Structure 1
């Protein structure tokens, strides 16, 4: 809901940084949720507007409005230089490719560093963490971002400790670096900021108002396990195509070695160089992603699912699935089959 009220003068300022690649949904979603702290619960329960306890402001490099990549119009409240000293600076997600350079963000980076030096917390939703890394603020720190960007972040910034499975990471000196994972985990980030700046009770009220469920299982169960890294090695590409159709065979790695015409040692070395994974890790990845699809769409017993994707030992399948996905096969089915049925 959008209830426009002049924020209280004592409310902490939360600056939402609208960079050139910002997405409107996360930016304005965080703006609405943070702005409702202290205001909406009173309105819903007593019919009168409460006093806002936070002051979210959308800021950009020059303060001028611009059109986001999806066509939505973004209208900042102020330029970065005009923003009152923020308690928190939030970076919503950026619509950029994994591994993309953010060299065009020099002004934003300088401002983020200055805000941190003045004691502000820095928070990032989804791919917003890439800008923190580009600014050098995640060196030797724990971090997370959208699951599809975690590998690229770790490769580009090897001194950042990337936690792909976690939906929320609190890091840095004084715990002043907060990052959320992909998708709607920005809601977790906003609730955490409300809890920290205002109080847990107010964060709980906002969760009740907006029917918010915390992403307590992290983002690992949502991740597509298939490797997106594109190989330029034609021999390895040919093997990837073959194993995508034959991952359920008893010895898929041996099959790829025969297809490649290389010695086993040379094949494994080239495969790892091309994909970033060992051949067996790649096979496990394909098998587990197929298992997720079977669990979501059918009622076959877990032992049969294991056999369908190539595992003769169901107990090994269960252990591997739990370790890689973060849920047991049974729990994954209960969670995501219900979701799929509702969507259908």
Structure 2
């Protein structure tokens, strides 16, 4: 039996709370990071997992503060008392673009410099790059920020190589300076950091749970994930476990019926009661989830993927995929394989 004391320490992420931060970004980042490792098994299997990151909200003095839009925040610690973080996230600096920032955050700027010198990753969403620049971390480096703040950043810090159109920029020694542009770019930033701190699959799981960057697709590509939860019926659970490994075999419903030892009508009724899906619907669900993984992670032709997951007729597979996922296999691949590639680069860069 393994000793809990031998388990690897969780990476610590500190999210910097300033009065000039909005609640949606501050708590959105916190929710994303805390949910890594915890929320995917909760949704898919019906059991909560364990968070893979240690997350703390910190402020200059650790006292309760009122942030933008009048929301009250109680930090977990002051910057002096916080556990040494592997990553510091600056959610934003919600000021008018031409507002003076020099000398406004001296304690926070000094803390960022010290943490970076110790090897921490400093990451900023939206206008948070202004504070990184104020701390002197971006001089001579590549950077990006929200489009409304690009001119100000360029004027005040002409030594920065500003990339106005790039959504995500990494810079500095060890790529330990990370910046994301637009208003909801904190989601992209969080995914990048999750891939880098935990692993690529954890980031992809959070992308699916949060529907990140593909909201126009609706929830159909993800909503049926909960169907794979194991039931409380031991007989049906045994069939679910079997089909998880044998979904590509011919006539899997007939095989599950034999495995159950039940009459066909009794099996279908009991399976439906336990899972909310008919046995055939469940098989389709498992096959399509595997097809998504293959579309994301391989360059195999769609026809080959159809065969790998159990469909001899690639046209039928494509129609079924479109009906259930609300995207064609090719559309799904373009969107999610691209995300996986970006996050993979972040993981190995």
Same fold (TM over 0.5): yes
2:139 match: 139
Secondary structure at the aligned position of 1:70 is classed as helix
Cα 1:161/1:99, change in 2 over 3 Å: farther
Which residue of structure 2 aligns with residue 20 of structure 1?
A: 19
Return the offset for 1:24.
1.2
Deviation at 1:11, TM superposition (A): 1.5
Conserved? CA contact 1:99–1:156, under 8 Å:
no
Q: Cα deviation per residue 1:159-193 (whole Å; 9 max; x = unaligned)?
A: 01111101110111110000000211110000000
3-state DSSP of counterpart to 2:105: helix
* Aligned counterparts of 1:97 and 1:51: Cα–Cα separation in 2: 40
1:188 aligns with: 188
3-state SS, counterpart of residue 68 of structure 2: coil
- Pairwise mapping of residues 118-197 of structure 1 onto structure 2 (< 5 A)? 118-197=118-197
Retained in 2: the 8 A contact 1:14–1:55?
yes
- Residue by residue over 1:45-91, the C-alpha shift from the partner in whole angstroms, topping out at 9 and shown as x without a partner, is 11111111011110001111111131111111100011111010000
Query: For the residues of structure 2 that align with 1:208 and 1:98, how far apart are their CA atoms?
Result: 34
Measure how far apart 1:9 and its partner are.
Answer: 7.9
Deviation of 1:42 after TM superposition, in Å, equals: 0.9
In structure 1, how many angstroms separate the alpha carbons of the residues matched to 2:19 and 2:213? 30
Runs of at least 5 residues in structure 2 that lack an aligned partner in the other structure? 1-6, 216-349
Within a 5 Å distance, the mapping from 1:1-344 to structure 2 comes to 10-102=9-101, 103-213=103-213
* Residue pair 1:99, 1:153 contacting (<8 A) in 2 also: no
Alignment length (residue pairs): 208
Provide the C-alpha distance between the structure 1 equivalents of 2:212 and 2:67, rounded to a whole number of angstroms: 26
Structure 1 CA distance for aligned equivalents of residues 45 and 19 of structure 2: 41
CA deviation map 1:253-297 (0-9, x unaligned): xxxxxxxxxxxxxxxxxxxxxxxxxxxxxxxxxxxxxxxxxxxxx
Is the Cα–Cα contact under 8 Å of residues 18 and 67 in structure 2 kept in the other structure?
no
The answer to whether the 8 A contact 1:16-1:92 is kept is yes
Once the two structures are TM-superposed, the CA of residue 101 in structure 1 deviates from its matched residue by: 2.5
- TM-score w.r.t. structure 1 length? 0.59
Q: 1:176 to 1:156 in 2, by over 3 A?
A: same
Distance across 2 between alignment mates of 1:113 and 1:9:
27
SS in structure 2 at match of 1:170 = strand
Query: Which runs of 5 or more residues in structure 1 are unaligned?
Result: 1-7, 216-344
The structure-2 alpha-carbon separation of the partners of 1:16 and 1:47, relative to structure 1 and needing over 3 Å to count, comes to: same
Structure 2 length-normalised TM? 0.58
The offset of 1:214, in angstroms, is 6.9
Higher relative contact order (CA 8 A, sep 6+): 2
Q: Provide the rounded CA distance (Å) in 1 between the counterparts of 2:8 and 2:61.
A: 24
SS at match of 2:69: coil
CA distance in 1, matches of 2:197, 2:98: 33
Residue 304 (structure 1) aligns with: none
Runs of 4+ off more than 6 Å: none
